[in-house]
């Protein structure tokens, strides 16, 4: 008599086969980031991260210890990555240049754009966009070539690079600019306080522009969530009323039209920051096109003026970004106490955020670290620690969010507060996210320790 076949044995066999197929490298690289994104969104549904609010104390202890610590902090400023690139153009006028009023064409769509997406990778917006900017000038590298430098991960060669680099949630603009200047034959620069006409002028002269912007989208919880994003801008069309952009995230993302109002609203969230990549032999042309933006201090002061105008003209949730930009502009000008005051106002507005339609932009400290500069160099170390704690908290990860910048600043603040071991732990944690990262290496060496 034949044994009766039990079809239910097929279920565990099928599951094992599915798991085996999932971990095949070609399949895993395509699906892992999607699976992880769904897992995180499910956890966030029950533990909304936007409900965790940082409340600055505003207190600066006026003691001898504070004075000594502040003096040390000023020294450490020279070792800290800034908002501007470490490699800047060496030529160009010293006086403030002027811009000739040459009429711009009504439409420009640059040819030779090679579209690069960020899909099948974690947090690849930065590498994808700077790859597009470089490929436009015939660079032969790809997004992974960029990522291996700007987000190398833990450095554990036993782990696939794509997997080990995923924990670095964001690549800062200065990292992208430094990559171009230090690892390619091309040049790059970055400024704040840009405007619509400047972007058009650069594009009309043949220079595409990378901007950093904020945008809202529905997540799996049904909320409208805010995220930061780079956008490669390669044309404009006044008749259609927008810029032509290459969006590495959207499907399809090539040659999209971003209407001027939407583009500027998103750009405002990042203090109108922009980057330009160009061949070194065309540097003088770029500097002439920039006009007064050649001077970084002028650009920062201009961004401050734009923020102050926005504070007067905007209301409700939009005021958060206006006050945040004011703080960022003061940081660029090294006016740290003024910056801290502006950020205090921004976080006060954040706490009152109307979440009926859009959740709080809790990710903003993933992309912009100005408040750490402001509070740290104002000797408000408790606020640095509290803000970093809030930023690093992640209900989807018991170890917290993997943001090396927040770990670095919390470590510095711990050290100033007298907790050297906590500082060391944070520096080493930052290096597990970004191996050989200069600021964390330097911080350990200052303490007589090896990375």
- 221 lies in some domain: yes
Counting residues of the chain whose pLDDT is more than 70, the rounded percentage is 77
Q: In which domain, by residue range, is 308 found?
A: 47-79+303-446
CATH no. for residue 172?
Answer: 3.90.70.10
Assign 8 a pLDDT band (cuts: 50, 70, 90).
low
- 41 lies in some domain: no
Counting residues of the chain whose pLDDT is more than 90, the rounded percentage is 67
Joined together, the tokens standing for residue 415 give 């050290």
How many CB atoms are located within 10 Å of the residue 387 CB?
25
Report the pLDDT averaged over residues 130-153: 97
Location of structure tokens 């002061």: 301
220 vs 46, higher pLDDT: 220
Of 351, 405, 342, which is closest to residue 374 (Cα–Cα)?
342
401: left (phi over 0), alpha (psi -120 to 50) or beta: beta
Report the alpha-carbon distance of residue 413 to residue 394 in Å, rounded. 21
- 88 lies in some domain: no
Report the alpha-carbon distance of residue 167 to residue 432 in Å, rounded. 9
The answer to whether residue 1 scores a pLDDT higher than 80 is: no
Please tell me the predicted confidence (pLDDT) of residue 402.
85
Residues 268 and 290 both lie in one domain: yes
Burial of 327 (0-12, 13-18, 19+ CB in 10 A): buried
Location of structure tokens 């000023």: 74
pTM score: 0.83
Residues 287 and 307 both lie in one domain: no
Residues 169 and 309 both lie in one domain: no
Assess contact for 240 and 221: CB atoms under 8 A: no
Assign 67 a pLDDT band (cuts: 50, 70, 90).
very low
Of 372, 366, 409, 363, which is closest to residue 49 (Cα–Cα)?
363
Residues 340 and 195 both lie in one domain: no
Report the alpha-carbon distance of residue 266 to residue 214 in Å, rounded. 5
Please tell me the predicted confidence (pLDDT) of residue 424.
98
The residue among 294, 316, 334 that closes a domain is 294
Assess contact for 138 and 279: CB atoms under 8 A: no
Residues 68 and 111 both lie in one domain: no
- 36 lies in some domain: no
Report the pLDDT averaged over residues 216-221: 71
The residue among 233, 259, 294 that closes a domain is 294
CATH no. for residue 413?
Answer: 1.25.40.10
Residues 178 and 59 both lie in one domain: no
- 290 lies in some domain: yes
- Long-range (24+ apart) CB contacts under 8 A made by 163-169 are 163/32, 165/122, 166/33, 166/36, 166/121, 166/122, 166/123, 167/402, 167/433, 168/123, 168/402, 168/404, 168/433, 168/434, 169/123, 169/366, 169/401, 169/402, 169/403
- 257 lies in some domain: yes
pLDDT in tens, 178-190: 999 999 999 999 9
Joined together, the tokens standing for residue 364 give 């903003």
The answer to whether residue 267 scores a pLDDT higher than 50 is: yes
- 258 lies in some domain: yes
Residues 320 and 214 both lie in one domain: no
Joined together, the tokens standing for residue 64 give 């001898």
Please tell me the predicted confidence (pLDDT) of residue 155.
86
Mean pLDDT computed over every residue of the chain: 85
Q: Which residues of 245-256 are buried (b: 16+ CB within 10 A; e: fewer)?
A: bbbbbeeebbee
Q: Which residues contact 372 (CB under 8 A, 6 or more apart)?
A: 384, 387, 388, 405, 406, 409
Q: Which residues pair with 434 in a beta bridge?
A: none
Strand duo 107-109 + 187-191: pairing: unpaired
Report the pLDDT averaged over residues 297-323: 96
How many CB atoms are located within 10 Å of the residue 390 CB?
17
The residue among 274, 294, 314 that closes a domain is 294
Alpha helices in 153-270, H assignment, sequence order: 161-164, 173-183, 196-204, 260-268
Best mean pLDDT range from 5-14, 151-160, 391-400: 151-160
H/E run at residue 109: strand 107-109
Assess contact for 384 and 376: CB atoms under 8 A: yes
DSSP category for residue 26: H
Residues 162 and 258 both lie in one domain: yes
Report the pLDDT averaged over residues 67-85: 49
pLDDT in tens, 369-380: 999 999 999 999
Residues 435 and 337 both lie in one domain: yes
Residues 226 and 328 both lie in one domain: no
Of 70, 137, 27, 84, which is closest to residue 331 (Cα–Cα)?
84
Residues 158 and 62 both lie in one domain: no
> CB-hemisphere CA count at 13 Å for 413?
26
Q: Which residues contact 336 (CB under 8 A, 6 or more apart)?
A: 330, 373, 374, 377, 378
Cα end-to-end distance, the chain, whole Å? 70
Please tell me the predicted confidence (pLDDT) of residue 93.
38
Q: Which residues contact 211 (CB under 8 A, 6 or more apart)?
A: 194, 199, 230, 231, 233, 267, 270, 272, 273, 274, 275
Least confident interval from 79-88, 276-285, 336-345: 79-88
pLDDT in tens, 302-312: 999 999 999 99
- 99 lies in some domain: no
Residues 288 and 316 both lie in one domain: no
**Structural domain count of the chain:** 2
Please tell me the predicted confidence (pLDDT) of residue 220.
58
Assign 31 a pLDDT band (cuts: 50, 70, 90).
low
Assess contact for 229 and 212: CB atoms under 8 A: yes
Report the alpha-carbon distance of residue 242 to residue 107 in Å, rounded. 10
Q: Which residues contact 9 (CB under 8 A, 6 or more apart)?
A: none
């Amino acid at each position: 008599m034949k044994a009766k076949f039990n079809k239910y044995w097929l279920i565990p066999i099928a599951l094992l086969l599915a798991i085996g197929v999932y971990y095949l490298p070609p399949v895993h690289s395509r699906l892992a980031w999607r699976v992880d994104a769904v897992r995180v969104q499910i956890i966030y549904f029950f533990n909304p991260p936007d409900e965790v609010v940082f409340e600055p104390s505003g207190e600066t202890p006026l003691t001898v210890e504070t004075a000594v610590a502040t003096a040390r902090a000023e020294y450490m400023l020279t070792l800290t990555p800034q908002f501007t690139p470490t490699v800047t153009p060496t030529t160009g006028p010293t006086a403030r240049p002027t811009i000739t009023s040459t009429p711009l064409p009504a439409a420009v769509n640059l040819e030779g754009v090679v579209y690069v997406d960020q899909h099948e990778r974690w947090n690849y917006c930065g590498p994808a966009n700077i790859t597009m900017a470089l490929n436009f000038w015939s660079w032969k590298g790809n997004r992974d070539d960029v990522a291996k430098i700007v987000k190398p991960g833990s450095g554990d060669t036993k782990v696939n690079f794509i997997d080990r680099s995923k924990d670095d949630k964001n690549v800062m603009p200065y990292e992208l600019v430094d990559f171009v200047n230090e690892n390619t034959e091309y040049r790059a620069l970055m400024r704040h306080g840009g405007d619509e006409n400047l972007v058009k002028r650069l594009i009309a002269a043949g220079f595409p522009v990378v901007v950093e912007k904020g945008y809202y989208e529905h997540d799996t919880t049904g909320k409208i969530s805010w995220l930061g994003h780079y956008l490669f801008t390669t044309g404009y069309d006044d008749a259609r009323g927008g810029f032509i952009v290459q969006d590495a995230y959207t499907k399809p993302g090539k040659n999209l039209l971003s209407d001027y109002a939407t583009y500027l609203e998103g750009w405002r969230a990042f203090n109108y920051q922009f980057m330009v990549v160009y061949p070194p032999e065309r540097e003088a042309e770029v500097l002439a096109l920039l006009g007064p933006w050649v001077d970084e201090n002028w650009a920062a002061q201009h961004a401050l003026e734009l923020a102050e105008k926005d504070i007067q003209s905007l209301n409700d949730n939009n005021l958060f970004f206006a006050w945040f930009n004011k703080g960022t502009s003061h940081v660029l000008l090294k006016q740290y106490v003024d910056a801290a005051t502006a950020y205090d106002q921004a976080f006060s507005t954040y706490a009152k955020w109307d979440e009926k339609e859009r959740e709080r932009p809790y990710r903003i400290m993933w992309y912009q670290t100005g408040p750490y500069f402001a509070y740290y160099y104002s000797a408000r170390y408790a606020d640095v620690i509290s803000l970093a704690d809030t930023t690093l908290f992640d209900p989807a990860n018991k170890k917290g969010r993997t943001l090396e910048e927040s770990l670095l600043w919390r470590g510095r603040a711990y050290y100033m507060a007298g907790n050297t071991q906590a500082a060391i732990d944070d520096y080493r944690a930052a290096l597990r996210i970004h191996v050989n990262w200069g600021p964390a290496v330097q911080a350990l060496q200052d303490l007589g320790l090896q990375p």
